[in-house]
Structures are given as C-alpha cells and as structure tokens.
C-alpha cells in the first residue's frame, strides 16, 4: 500500500538523558500527552520505551502494563512496545515485555554494534521472541539495522512461519554508528532485498540524527513509511534542538502530504499491519 503513509512516533528511547534533553517525555503523563498530540497530527503507531522515577530506562513489568493500559484508554494509537529496551537489558526481561499485551512489539533481526556498545540479539532469542508473538497474537515490527538482517528475517519466516496477522512489516533503522548508513543508496539496496520476503511486505524507515531528513525523503519516494521521534533525533536542524515530538511528526506529515501520500488513519494502519 503506497497510497498513504504509516507514521510511527518513537517519543523517548533509552539513550537520551532527561537532564540533557528536558523536552523528552519520561513520565506516564508526559508520554500520554505526547501520544495524544502526535495522534492528532497524523501518527498511527507509538513505539514505546519507558523510564523509572529517576528517568532511567526500565522494563518494569508493572509500569509496562500501566503504560499500555493508559495509551489504550487515552488514544486510538497502535501500541508497539520495544523488546530491545536498553543495550544492557537481559533477554528474560526483554521477552517479558510481551506480558504487557501490546498490539505490536519490535523484533530486532540480529546483533549490531551500537555506538560504543553492542546490541546483542542471538538467533535463539530472535526465534523465541518471534514464536511467542505468534502464540499471543502480537504483531512484530522486524527491526533491520544492517542488510544481513533481511537475510536473517527470510530464514526466520522460512523456518518458523509468518507473524501474527500474516503481514510482514519491517523498519529500516539507519544511521546508527555500527549499522547501515542513513543514505538513499543504502535504502534503495535494502528495498531491493525485500523481493526475497513474502509478497506484500511493507517497510518503514528511521533515520538516526542527521540522517533523518534524507531517510524520510528516500522512504517516501520508494513507497515506504516513516518513523520519527525524539528516540531517534533530538536536533530539528543544525544548532536547533527539538522542542517536542509534535514538531517531528508535523514535519513527517508535511513531507507525506507533499508526496501525495497522506497519513494513514489508525483504522487504515490496523488493516495494513494485519491487526
């Protein structure tokens, strides 16, 4: 489906510190307010990381359940929890994210250098995450940090079957130091590799930092969708900090409208993703 654009907002992440980025939504009230604002502008999916009382990244099960419930009650957004957490989170805690009962969850398709750290995703862990989501009817978004991850996804689907809902949707995470660069050439190469995945596979693209705008434009021009938010960039332009997630979603909506691919409603997004 290229007649509309699925817009995902990733408002918080696990990397930025509230002390350094005051606009970052870290409390449940801040997250819920951000979610409502971004939904009103055209976002259909919210990719969620949560923080503890000290604004540190956490995968606390009770907080996750509370967050999912609040977002469901206060918005019509598709709630997608991160199973990646922070790079230091153990596998058991990452798997337990599914217990909060989100609509979707991320499933990263391989290990990648992540700046000075390593984001570890063992094959056995990926299989466990994928099959648990199948059993629970949670739709995955397969996170692709490097081109080889697409081959891993092809292997996963071939051996363990399609995801819950039957539709395959991937997100190209581009521009992470250690992963694939956030360039048009790389996105075109990744897009070509989708031919090896099930017919109808869709993709979003995420540009980290300064690659945000080139990746948005390249994704729209190749029929892809968009993920934006303060998880991925805290700079709106050179020397200009992001004021809110609304600012990033509004820019994405503007680009989508210029491309004559207006934002999908939440109902249209649910149909696209097999929810």
Asked if the structure places residue 1 within a domain, the reply is no
Contact 77, 48 (CB under 8 A): no
Q: Is residue 117 part of a domain?
A: yes
Q: Does the pLDDT at position 227 exceed 90? A: yes
Beta bridge partners of 50: 58
Residue 85 pLDDT: 86
Mean local confidence (pLDDT), 28-56? 97
Q: How far is the C-alpha of 49 from the C-alpha of 208, rounded, in Å?
A: 16
Cβ atoms of residues 185 and 204 within 8 Å: no
**pLDDT band, very low/low/confident/very high, at 1 (cuts 50, 70, 90):** very low
What is the tally of structural domains in the chain?
1
Across residues 70-84, what is the average pLDDT?
Answer: 97
Query: Is 78 part of any domain?
Result: yes
Q: Is the pLDDT of residue 63 over 50?
A: yes
Task: Tell me if 2 is assigned to some domain.
Answer: no
Domain range for 21 is 7-273
Q: Is residue 100 part of a domain?
A: yes
Average pLDDT of span 203-216: 95
pLDDT at site 67:
98
Mean pLDDT of the chain: 95
User: Does residue 115 register a pLDDT over 90?
Assistant: no
- For 94-103, what is the mean pLDDT? 97
Token pair listed for 150: 């697409």
> What pLDDT, on the 0 to 100 scale, is given for residue 2?
55
- Please check whether residue 236 lies inside any domain of the structure: yes
| CA neighbours closer than 13 Å in the CB half-sphere of residue 196 | 17
Report the CATH number at residue 209: 3.20.20.70
Is residue 250 in a domain? yes
């Amino acid at each position: 489906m290229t007649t509309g654009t699925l817009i995902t907002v990733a408002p918080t992440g696990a990397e930025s510190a509230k002390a350094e980025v005051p606009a970052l939504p870290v409390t449940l009230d801040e997250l819920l307010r951000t979610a409502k604002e971004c939904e009103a502008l055209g976002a259909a999916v919210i990719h969620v990381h949560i923080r503890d009382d000290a604004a540190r990244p956490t995968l606390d099960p009770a907080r996750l359940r509370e967050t999912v419930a609040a977002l469901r009650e206060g918005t019509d957004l598709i709630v997608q929890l991160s199973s990646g957490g922070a790079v230091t989170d153990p596998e058991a805690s990452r798997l337990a994210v599914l217990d909060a009962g989100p609509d979707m969850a991320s499933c990263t398709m391989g290990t990648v250098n992540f700046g000075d750290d390593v984001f570890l995703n063992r094959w056995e862990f990926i299989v466990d995450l994928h099959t648990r989501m199948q059993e629970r009817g949670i739709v995955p978004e397969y996170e692709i940090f490097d081109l080889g991850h697409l081959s891993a996804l092809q292997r996963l689907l071939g051996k363990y079957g399609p995801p819950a809902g039957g539709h395959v949707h991937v997100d190209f995470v581009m521009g992470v130091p250690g992963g694939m660069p956030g360039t048009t050439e790389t996105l075109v190469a990744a897009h070509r590799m989708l031919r090896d995945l099930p017919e109808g596979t869709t993709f979003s693209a995420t540009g980290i930092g300064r690659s945000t705008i080139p990746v948005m434009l390249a994704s729209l021009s190749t029929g892809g969708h968009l993920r934006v938010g303060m998880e991925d960039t805290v700079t709106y332009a050179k020397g200009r900090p992001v004021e809110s997630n609304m600012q990033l979603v509004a820019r994405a909506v503007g680009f989508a409208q210029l491309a004559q691919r207006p934002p999908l409603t939440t109902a249209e997004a649910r149909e696209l993703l097999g929810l």
